[in-house]
C-alpha cells in the first residue's frame, strides 16, 4: 500500500498541519462493540461510585482493508457530561456511523464534516475521529504523535484516585503512585 500525505498549507503549526492533512479514507464497514471491564479498585466520585468501566469501541474498515479503532468512554448516566452509554450508542448506530459508510473523505478533518449538522454527542464523534486517524496513521506508516507534530518520545502521565474511607488510606495510595513515577495525582472528593 502506497499512500502519500499532502499538506496544502504552509502554516507549520502542528494543529494546522493536522487539520489540512490529506490522506484518503473510504470507509466500507463499521461495527460497534460494548465492553465492560472491572476496575482494579472502586473509583469513588462525588456523584457516584464506579466499580466497572463500560465503553463503546468503534471499528472502521476502509476500502483498502485498513482497520481503525476508536473509543467512546463515558459513564452510565449523563451526570458528568451530557452523554451516556445509551445516547452515545444511539448516536453512533443511528446517526453517525451510517453517514461515514461508503463515503470517501480526503482526510481526517474532512471526515468529521460527515456529521457537522449533528449537535452534541462529543464522545461518539470522538470515537469515530480516533478510528479515522488510526486508519490514516497506518496508511502513512507514521505515528499519531508524528502526524500531530509531537516532539517527544514520552510524556508525563498522572493517576486519578477515587474517594477513600480514611486519610491514611488516601496518603498511602498517593505515595505508592508517586513511587511508581506518576507526575500528577488527581483526587476525587465529596462531602464528608
Q: pLDDT truncated to tens, each residue of the chain (192 aa)?
A: 444 444 444 455 656 666 777 888 999 999 999 988 776 666 655 445 566 677 899 999 999 999 999 999 876 665 566 777 888 999 999 999 999 999 898 888 888 888 889 998 999 999 999 999 999 999 999 998 888 888 888 888 998 888 888 889 999 999 999 999 999 999 887 776
Q: Considering the domain boundaries, does residue 138 fall inside one? A: yes
Q: Give yes or no: residues 122 and 99 share one domain.
A: yes
Strand 104-105 relative to strand 25-44: parallel, antiparallel, unpaired?
A: antiparallel
The pLDDT score that the predictor gives to residue 116 is 86
Q: Give yes or no: residues 59 and 36 share one domain.
A: yes
Q: Residue 135 belongs to a domain with what CATH number?
A: 3.30.390.10
Q: Give yes or no: residues 32 and 120 share one domain.
A: yes
Q: Give yes or no: residues 132 and 53 share one domain.
A: yes
Q: Give yes or no: residues 76 and 165 share one domain.
A: no
Q: Measured between alpha carbons, how far is 94 from 101 in angstroms, rounded to an integer?
A: 12
What are the DSSP calls for 153-177, one per residue?
Answer: S----EEEE---SSHHHHHHHHHHH
Q: Measured between alpha carbons, how far is 83 from 74 in angstroms, rounded to an integer?
A: 7
Q: Give yes or no: residues 140 and 165 share one domain.
A: no
Name the domain count of the chain.
Answer: 2
Q: Give yes or no: residues 125 and 169 share one domain.
A: no
Q: Give yes or no: residues 28 and 90 share one domain.
A: yes
pLDDT digits 0-9 by tens, 49-85: 566 677 899 999 999 999 999 999 876 665 566 777 8
The upper half-sphere exposure of residue 140, i.e. CA atoms within 13 Å in the direction of its Cβ, equals 24
Q: Considering the domain boundaries, does residue 29 fall inside one? A: yes
Q: Measured between alpha carbons, how far is 55 from 71 in angstroms, rounded to an integer?
A: 7
Q: Considering the domain boundaries, does residue 17 fall inside one? A: yes
Q: Give yes or no: residues 109 and 178 share one domain.
A: no
Give the range of the structural domain holding residue 181, as residue numbers without chain letter. 158-187
Helices (H), the chain: 14-20, 85-90, 97-100, 108-111, 122-140, 144-147, 167-180
Amino acid at each position: 500500500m502506497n499512500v502519500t500525505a499532502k499538506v496544502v498549507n504552509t502554516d507549520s503549526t502542528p494543529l494546522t498541519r493536522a487539520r489540512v492533512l490529506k490522506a484518503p479514507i473510504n470507509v466500507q464497514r463499521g461495527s460497534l462493540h460494548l465492553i465492560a471491564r472491572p476496575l482494579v479498585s472502586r473509583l469513588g466520585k462525588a456523584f457516584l461510585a464506579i466499580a466497572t468501566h463500560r465503553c463503546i469501541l468503534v471499528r472502521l474498515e476502509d476500502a483498502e482493508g485498513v482497520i481503525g479503532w476508536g473509543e467512546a468512554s463515558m459513564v452510565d448516566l449523563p451526570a458528568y457530561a451530557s452523554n451516556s452509554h445509551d445516547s452515545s450508542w444511539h448516536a453512533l448506530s443511528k446517526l453517525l456511523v451510517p453517514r461515514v459508510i461508503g463515503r470517501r473523505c480526503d482526510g481526517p478533518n474532512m471526515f468529521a464534516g460527515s456529521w457537522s449538522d449533528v449537535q452534541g454527542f462529543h464522545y461518539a464523534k470522538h470515537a469515530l475521529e480516533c478510528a479515522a486517524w488510526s486508519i490514516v496513521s497506518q496508511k502513512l506508516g507514521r505515528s499519531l504523535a508524528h502526524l500531530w507534530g509531537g516532539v517527544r518520545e514520552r510524556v508525563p502521565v498522572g493517576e486519578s484516585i477515587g474517594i477513600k474511607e480514611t486519610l491514611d488510606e488516601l496518603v498511602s495510595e498517593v505515595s505508592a503512585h508517586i513511587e511508581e513515577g506518576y507526575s500528577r495525582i488527581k483526587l476525587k472528593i465529596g462531602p464528608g
